[in-house]
Structure 1
Amino acid sequence: MSRLTPAVRKRHYWPILLLVWSLAAVSATEEQTQPHESILAAAEQHVLNDFDEENQEINVAAGRLDSRLRLAACDQELDTFMPHGRKNASRVTVGVRCNDTGGWTLYVPVTLSLMKEIAVANRELPRGTILTSADFKIEKRDVARLHRGYIEHPQQAIGKKLKRRLRADAVLTPGQLIIQHAVKKGSQVVIVAQIGGLQVRMNGKALSNGAVGERIKVENNSSNRQIEATVIDSGVVKATT
C-alpha cells in the first residue's frame, strides 16, 4: 500500500484551506454590508412619521434596490430626509444616509396611498348648480393622488355654486366651487329662533356675508343684541342655541 509523503499531503490541504478562507471572507463581507431591508424600512418609516397613523389608512411601499448594491454597514442609526416631493404626493423620494466617517447616501423612491372619506358627485351636475346634500355622496378615495385637493366635510360644499359641469362620481374640489352668499353683510334678514315648542321669527341685520350652512353674526333689530346664527336660506338665518 502506498503512502503519501508529507509534501503530497500538504498539497492536498491547500485547496481545503483556500475554501475555508473564501467562506470566511464571504461571511465577513456579508456582516459588514448594510441589509437592504433596513434601508427600505427606514425610508418607509420616514413617510409614515408625517401622518397620524391611528386615524388614517396609509400604505407605503419603498422601491426595490439593485441586488448588486453593497453598502458598508452603518454603526449609527440610519438618518432619513425628504429632498423632494409633497406630503400628499403619491410618489416621493426619501434620502437615507449613513453618518459614519466615510458613510453613504442613497435615494429611495416610495409610493404612498392615503385613503380618506371625501365628497364625490352623486350624479352629473350642470354648471351653476347650487349644491345641496342630495348632490353628492361620501366615498373612500386615495387622496394622495388628488393634486387639486378634495372636500372632506359636507358643510364645505353645501350652498356653493359649481363653476363647471361635473360628471357622476367625480371628486369635488375647492377650486370647482364658488361661494354663493345667501346673506350679504348689512342686509335685512329673518331670524328664526326655537323657544320651547314655539318657533319665533324676528327681524335683524346681517353683520357679515354668509352662504347656506355657514354661521354668521346677526343683530336683532328690536334689542340691538348680537347673536350667532346659521344661514338656512336666502335672507333667513336660524339662531344658534
Structure 2
Amino acid sequence: MLKNFPKVYVLTIIFLFTTLGVSASTSNSLIQKQLIDGVTRYVNQTVNPDDSEHIKVKTIPLDNRIRVNQCQVPLEYEMMNRRKFTRQFPVKVSCNATGAYWKMFVQVRVTEYIEALVTTKSVGKGELITEDHITLSLIEKRNVDTGNAISTEALIGGRAIRNLHRGFQIGANDVCLVCKGDSISIVAQSSNMMIKTNGTAIESGSFGESIKVKNNSSDRIVKGTVGELRQVYVNL
C-alpha cells in the first residue's frame, strides 16, 4: 500500500512529526530553564540574602529527558532538611494548579568561599617570598586551612621551607621568617624594659614558633619566639 502512496505526502508527514518533536523538546528545555532559574533565585534569597560574593549557588540542571509540564500558577519552593544543611541538598518544587498538580526535587549546591593568601607562581624551597609571590583570593571554605594566617607580615621577606606550586594556599607554617644561620635581632623584654642585641639562628622558625638562637655577644644559647622578620623575642 505504501508503494502507491505519493512520496510527497510521506515526506510531508515525516517533516511534521520531526518539527513537532523539535518544538516539544525546545518547549520543555525552556520550561526546565525557568524552573532552574526560579530554584536558584529562591535558594539565593534564603541562604544569601545579602548577596555576598563569598556564597555561590548552583542548581544542578535536569536531565533533558525529564518532562516538565507548564504550571499555570506560580511555582512553590521548599528547602528540605534545613536543619541538616549540607553543601548539596534537594529543593522541593511544587505546581499547585487545580487539576494539574505536580512536584519534583531539584538538587542545589551551595559553596562558601573565604579569603586566603595563595601563591601567584611556583616557589622553590629556600626562595625568598616577595609581594609578587602572593595574592588574596577566594577559596572554597572546605579547602581552606583555617589555621593559616592571612597576614602578609608573616610571609614577606621569609623563605619557603618547601616547594610550593602555583595557587597554593600559603600560610605562616610554609615560610621561615627566621632561617637557620640567619643573622637576627634578639629582643629581650620585660614589663618595663627592652634590650636588643645581635644573634644567630640555630634553628629555622615560622611566625610564632619557639626556636633556639645564639647571643653573639655572650655566645649563650637561648630560646625565643619568632616575631617579625628575623627577630626573636626572649622574656627577661
Q: TM-score, normalised by structure 1?
A: 0.42
Q: TM-score, normalised by structure 2?
A: 0.42
